Amino acid sequence: MNTILNNRYEIIRQLGQGNFGTTYLAKDNNLPKSPVCVVKKLSPVQTEKKVLSEANRLFYKEAEALQKLGEHNQIPRLLAYFEENSEFYLVQEFIEGHDLTKEICTGKQFSETKTIKLLIDILQVLNFVHQNNVVHRDLKPQNIMRRASDGQIVLIDFGAVKEVEKIGEKKLGTSIGSPGYMPREQAIGQPKFCSDIYAVGMIGILALTGDINCGGVVIRNERLKLILDKMTCESWQKRYQTVDDVLAELKDLGLSMLKPQKTVLSTSPNRLQQLEQEMSKPTVVQDNKWRKALITGLTATILTAVPAAALYFARPFLFNERDTSALLNEDSKPEVPKAEVPKPEEQKPDVSQPEVLKPEEPKLEEPKPLSEVQSTSSSLKLARVRTFEGHRGTVYAVVISPDGQTIVSGSADTTIKVWDYGSGELKHSLTGHRGYIYTVAISPDGKTIVSGSSDDTVKVWDLTTGALLKTLSGHRADIYDTAISPDGQTVVSGSIDKTVKFWNLRSDELLGTITGYKYGVTSVDFVGEDIMAADIKTIKVWEPKTGLLKSTLATGGKYADVMVGMDDKQIIGTSNGAIAIWNSDSTTPVILPGDKYQVDSIVTTSDNIFAGRVDGSIQVWDLANKNLVTSFSGYHSNKVKSLAVTADGKTLVSGSADKTVKIWDLNF
């Protein structure tokens, strides 16, 4: 073939060749320094004019889809596509790294936590693919890269474009895929979204057992076995139908496998720097010798060493469906010594400090069925509902500016959008995070946005201009909640790495790190000058200046999220997906009526509780008498994942898994 393609791309060498074409490493001579890229050549099996015309149409259609997918950080960017001499070419970003055949090998087994982590790594990217109505169709270890620069999974070699080469074959359906990873419906040319889930399940079986057929290998964790069985069920109707469903199960399983951590609060800048350096040291991976093994018709190149990795799971309160989350793999953590909290010179022992409660598993009252609850007569009227569209993924976070004129939303599509409340105009779309946006907050002066993401960072933005001001790093896993202090000076963040960090918003200084949580921290807020942070089992209130743990409340639930009541005398949240209220004199909550596992988001005013539910409805409860006021249904078509409300309760904002933001104007 020509060494120069399209008068631009100079072939350096062949990278690979398969049934669907040839891949080359090339350099782009039209750009400064001639950067390297990957060129894929696709040749139709027939060259008749009619066949080529159909191949041309299909090629450009699929190339446009790949170009859209390349917007994701973990999918190679499509740089160009063209036709030359009746052959079709894709030019893609070159990913430096290795494919998963160098991590997964027959006869060698991943630990359960590493297997879960690997599955979720893959599924999180696949979720984006499916959200764009694309089926990958050729997921296997050879088509999944581990990027060298950051260790992230990258999906390559999408099967859809390979149909170009199949044009002209006389078959009922076009079969694209690889034996061992291709389910029955895909083999007859009828792939579905759950066909990709099947392939990921087979990768998980290979990683966990060292045998894609799982012959003679016992999977000890019964729950993981059931998940893999459902992922790889022969009948597509009995498989998980969405990636979200699989992620929910896997992340909940990951949550149940966590180990407790000791309590450490560090406020010494020197010690903090030392600890952060220790925690950021890369894991050294030594490669063993190559060997090959035949796996149901596939020849896989093997490397036995596996990088130490993080165990991922989602925010428990949201039924473990937040799509990107990371927990530290216990066997890969560095040994971190305790850091003593320096005592202020003038501070005296406080003999009146409340006793730290250490509840076991409290037996909480079961919520009454919602059917038995009588709605309270109310003057509440729904005046208007508006829909803001533009996100391409679940809207996990919404917030209203103090003046009520700006709405900010964060989404699984990795963007933050700033909307004008009155006109609905999209003022800014903020990009910079490399993962799902789980939390957004606005400073009391309305000038600053703070966001937290599955990329483990907190980012600070200028609300007016949309400019990125700074990035706060230090967490080692997904950040699920952030809050800004009432004086606007301090930012606090809670992470699935089981820590709470707080920074000076102006100077970027890390003021302290609180640990001591058994599970990932899902909620944070300020109670006066104190910090409240919760995992799924406990709510703890800390004095940040001294590191004093002032009180511990039990959630008693499997899923929990909390927020501070408007009068700071109550903590309002959920326990087992039902609304729960903790009074200042009680360590266990009062559970409001309703089915368990139905509340997916919650927000409160001084008078009312607003609860977003998994069926897409929003309930309004009277905070004083604990009665249901009303329920709005038929607006969101999927789960309500986030809520925000103005202090007067007249404007409610909701974000949903249906990818929309809705503005509710209420009259009381």
Count Cβ atoms within 10 A of the Cβ of residue 19 and give its class: 0-12 exposed, 13-18 middle, 19 or more buried: exposed
Higher pLDDT, 290 or 246: 246
What are the pLDDT digits (tens) for 213-234?
A: 655 556 778 889 999 999 999 9
Q: Per mean pLDDT, which range of 41-55, 95-109, 195-209, 608-622 is the poorest?
A: 41-55
Res. 42 pLDDT band, cuts 50 70 90: confident
C-alpha 84/C-alpha 65 separation (Å) is 20
Place of tokens 């009922």: 172
What are the pLDDT digits (tens) for 405-459?
A: 999 999 988 999 999 999 999 999 999 998 889 999 999 999 999 999 988 999 9
Catalytic site residue 138?
yes
Res. 188 pLDDT band, cuts 50 70 90: confident
Place of tokens 């500016």: 401
Q: What is the DSSP string of 264-324?
A: -EE--HHHHHHHHHHHTPPPP------EEEEETTEEEEE-------EEP---GGGTT--S-
Task: Summarize the confidence of residues 318-336 as an average pLDDT.
Answer: 31
C-alpha 227/C-alpha 19 separation (Å) is 32
Mean pLDDT of the chain: 76
**Helix (H), strand (E) at residue 209:** helix 193-209
Domains of the chain: 4-93 (3.30.200.20), 98-262+289-332 (1.10.510.10), 364-388+556-668 (2.130.10.10)
Which one of the listed residues 99, 121, 138, 157 is annotated catalytic? 138
Higher pLDDT, 570 or 606: 606
The first and second tokens of residue 105, run together, are 């090998």
**Given a cut of 70, is residue 287 above it in pLDDT?**
no
Q: Per mean pLDDT, which range of 262-276, 435-449, 488-502, 574-588 is the poorest?
A: 262-276
Answer for the pair 178, 196: CB distance below 8 angstroms, yes or no. Answer: no
Query: What number of other Cβ atoms are within 10 A of residue 654's Cβ?
Result: 28
**Given a cut of 60, is residue 547 above it in pLDDT?**
yes
Place of tokens 């290998």: 217
The first and second tokens of residue 107, run together, are 């006869």
The first and second tokens of residue 369, run together, are 């069925």
Expressed in angstroms, the distance from the first to the final Cα of the chain is 74
Q: What is the DSSP string of 73-110?
A: TTS--EEEEEEETTEEEEEEE---EEEGGGT--TT---
The first and second tokens of residue 547, run together, are 């590191």
C-alpha 313/C-alpha 498 separation (Å) is 12
Q: Please tell me what DSSP assigns to residue 18.
A: E
Most confident segment among 58-72, 355-369, 381-395, 513-527: 381-395
C-alpha 348/C-alpha 117 separation (Å) is 47
Task: Summarize the confidence of residues 622-629 as an average pLDDT.
Answer: 89
C-alpha 344/C-alpha 335 separation (Å) is 28
C-alpha 432/C-alpha 411 separation (Å) is 13
**Given a cut of 60, is residue 639 above it in pLDDT?**
yes
Q: What is the pLDDT of residue 631?
A: 92
Residues 6+ apart with CB under 8 A from 335: none
Answer for the pair 5, 25: CB distance below 8 angstroms, yes or no. Answer: no
Amino acid identity of residue 520, one-letter, is: G
Amino acid identity of residue 291, one-letter, is: R
- CA triplet 176, 181, 182: central angle to 5 degrees? 40
Residue 252: name the closest of 272, 213, 223 by CA. Answer: 223
What are the pLDDT digits (tens) for 143-184?
A: 999 998 888 999 998 865 544 444 444 443 455 778 889 999
Q: Please tell me what DSSP assigns to residue 397.
A: E
- CA triplet 640, 433, 448: central angle to 5 degrees? 80
What are the pLDDT digits (tens) for 83-138?
A: 888 788 999 999 999 999 888 876 678 888 899 999 999 999 999 999 888 899 99
Answer for the pair 659, 394: CB distance below 8 angstroms, yes or no. Answer: yes
User: What are the angstrom distances between the C-alpha of 14 and each of 11, 40, 143?
Assistant: 8, 10, 17
Q: pTM (2 decimals)? A: 0.53
**Ramachandran angles phi, psi of 383, nearest 5°:** -80, -40
Percent of the chain with pLDDT over 90: 41
Task: Summarize the confidence of residues 342-369 as an average pLDDT.
Answer: 35
Q: Please tell me what DSSP assigns to residue 331.
A: G
C-alpha 439/C-alpha 319 separation (Å) is 16
Three-class secondary structure of residue 442 per DSSP: strand
Res. 318 pLDDT band, cuts 50 70 90: very low
Residue 116: name the closest of 250, 5, 263, 317 by CA. Answer: 250
Q: What is the pLDDT of residue 61?
A: 80
**Given a cut of 50, is residue 468 above it in pLDDT?**
yes
Q: Per mean pLDDT, which range of 31-45, 305-319, 396-410 is the poorest?
A: 305-319
Three-class secondary structure of residue 210 per DSSP: coil
